[in-house]
Amino acid sequence: MAGRVAVTHATLVPMDSERLLADHTLLLEDGVIRRIGPATSVALGEAEVIDASGLYVLPGLADMHVHYNDPGVAGILIANGITRVRNMWGSPSQLALNQKVRSGEFPGPWIASTSPIIDGLGTHGQTAWPGSVLMMDPDGAEPLVKQYARRGYRQIKAYQWLAPEVLRALGLAAHGAGLRMVGHCP
């Protein structure tokens, strides 16, 4: 949202406690909230005015577990107030999409993506999901995590068949790279 926009006469849901702030105005400049206050206290200047009488404004929501493989769902997410998502099975496509979202080239929620799934061998001799990264040797954890961190993944996703020593090595490597480790653990 470029320029100066005033959302007037809205009821705000601040989410810091159970309260509503009736008849408030938000003044935005280039998509950033610059001022919030009772409707009569905010000078609008040359702002484009959106009358939000009878409407509610709340902070953007975050969906902490999505598998965001289709950019076509971005509109559905945004329409439902979801402005951030945590993608739980990373690939380069989510990293590229997030770059487009952050630059304003594509409208959608910001994406924090885990790495591709890292798994061991199950009793059936395969990873739980085809396409997962197979890790059997704890010595491979640090180079893999560093590679994922350089690419822009925000978390490391461990999965259910990892041997305990590999899981520990992944956790230590993730910590060393400043990333969290998440997932379906053994």
Report the C-alpha gap between 153 and 131 in whole angstroms. 17
User: What's domain 61-183's superfamily in CATH?
Assistant: Metal-dependent hydrolases (3.20.20.140)
The pLDDT value given to residue 168:
97
Judged against a pLDDT cut of 60, whether residue 30 lies above it is answered with: yes
Mean confidence (pLDDT) of the chain: 94
What does the domain layout of the chain look like in residue ranges? 4-57, 61-183
Judged against a pLDDT cut of 90, whether residue 153 lies above it is answered with: yes
Judged against a pLDDT cut of 90, whether residue 133 lies above it is answered with: yes
Strand partners, 112: 86
Non-local CB neighbours of 115 within 8 Å, separated by 6+ positions: 90, 133, 145, 148, 153, 155, 156, 157
Q: State pTM to two decimals.
A: 0.82
Judged against a pLDDT cut of 80, whether residue 36 lies above it is answered with: yes
Judged against a pLDDT cut of 90, whether residue 184 lies above it is answered with: no
Judged against a pLDDT cut of 60, whether residue 1 lies above it is answered with: no
Judged against a pLDDT cut of 60, whether residue 144 lies above it is answered with: yes
Non-local CB neighbours of 81 within 8 Å, separated by 6+ positions: 58, 60, 61
Q: What is the mean pLDDT of residues 37-56?
A: 94
Of 31-35, 79-83, 98-102, 181-185, least confident by mean pLDDT is: 181-185
Residue 28 in tokens: 């935005």
The pLDDT value given to residue 163:
95
The pLDDT value given to residue 185:
66
pLDDT tier at 11, thresholds 50, 70, 90: very high
Share of the chain above pLDDT 90, in %: 92
Judged against a pLDDT cut of 90, whether residue 13 lies above it is answered with: yes
Strands 110-119 and 82-87: parallel
The pLDDT tens digits for 62-119 are 999 999 999 999 999 999 999 999 999 999 999 999 999 999 999 999 999 999 999 9
CATH code for the domain defined by 4-57: 2.30.40.10
pLDDT tier at 31, thresholds 50, 70, 90: confident
